[in-house]
Amino acid sequence: MSLDFIGVGSGKCGSTWLFEMIQSHPQVFDGNAKELNFFSDRYQYYEKGSAWYRRQFSGATPDQKCGEFSVTYMYEEVALRRLKYMFPDVRLLMVVRDPVERAFSDYQHEIRKGLISEKCDFGEFVRTRYDTGLGRFAEAISLVEDYFHEDQLLVIPLNAMKLVPEKALARVYEHIGVDTDFLPDNVGEVVNKAFVPRVLAVERIITRGSRFLTMSGNVALLESLKRTGLVSRIRSLNSSKRNKTIPSAESKMLRQVYSREIDFIAQLESSYGIGET
């Protein structure tokens, strides 16, 4: 078994939507799991060996593309080194977004997971908890290209997936070697959208259950549960209409921190015709 593609990052940037669009392609194995985190040092899966990892794709036919998305890989040199050793020719995908928006999405996500109190404001989160390195995409790309040829990596901005999804998917499909004329029926649907829960306890039960299944190695079961649509339905019912916006002071500060990244993403978006007048 060969690994055809792998999404190396980043979290909170639309990787779930992209993974589902890839999964829906008829030339892709529909049993691929989204987050195996096999190559990461944050988990103990690598100790299980390559045979365990390859078994996660059992059921795929020889003509189907196999792959996964684990959004920790792009930040971890050890993960990239292991990946290079096992699958030197794999095609890599990376999704990026405005790093300030990414930080705020991470803030909301940590509240939902119960990692921080909902009383913690965004400013405190940025000052005391947030790793600004998560938004330094140019540095992450440089690290990836230390191990893989630049032609193996396709970087997709979130706005391209939102505003010109057909163009974005055509590039993705071409990159992983499948028919570029295919267009999923649900291409316009928003997947895993950030939200503020009505009842925090309900969301925390979901996230802790998901974390338990992931840490215990039951990723395939977790993906099967997601495909039933039950979790999405519960989250939809538990979603508040409250609209949280990024405080201006923190936004200004982070835009100074991420000035290089913001310019980089603007250039990347222009290659998709976004921002042109």
pLDDT digits over 8-49, tens only? 989 999 999 999 999 999 999 998 888 889 999 988 889 999
Of the candidates 150, 185, 144, 155, the residue with the CA atom closest to the CA atom of residue 39:
144
Radius of gyration of the chain (CA): 18
Supply the mean pLDDT for the chain.
88
Helix (H) or strand (E) holding 222: helix 219-227
Q: Are 8 and 70 in contact (CB under 8 A)?
A: yes
- Range scoring the smallest mean pLDDT among 23-32, 107-116, 118-127: 107-116
The CA dihedral of 135, 140, 142, 144, to the nearest 10 degrees, is: -160
Hey, which of 30-39, 106-115, 263-272 has the most confident mean pLDDT? 263-272
| Domain architecture of the chain: domains with CATH | 5-270 (3.40.50.300)
Two tokens, residue 31: 């049993």
Residue 120 pLDDT: 92
pLDDT per position as a tens digit, 82-102: 999 999 999 999 999 999 999
Residue 231 pLDDT: 73
Tell me the C-alpha distance between 238 and 159, whole Å: 26
Query: In the predicted model, is pLDDT for residue 124 greater than 90?
Result: yes
Q: Are 173 and 183 in contact (CB under 8 A)?
A: no
pLDDT per position as a tens digit, 198-248: 676 776 687 677 767 766 767 667 777 777 777 777 766 776 655 578 999
Angle between helices 165-176 and 15-23 (to 10 degrees): 60
Residue 219 pLDDT: 67
Half-sphere exposure of 29 (CA within 13 A, CB side): 22
Phi, psi (deg, nearest 5) at residue 197: -75, 145
Residue 213 in 3-state DSSP? Answer: helix
- Burial tier of 134 (Cβ tally within 10 Å: 0-12, 13-18, 19+): buried
Q: Are 140 and 147 in contact (CB under 8 A)?
A: no
* Cα 74–Cα 77–Cα 82 angle in degrees, nearest 5: 95
The CA dihedral of 252, 195, 15, 37, to the nearest 10 degrees, is: 100
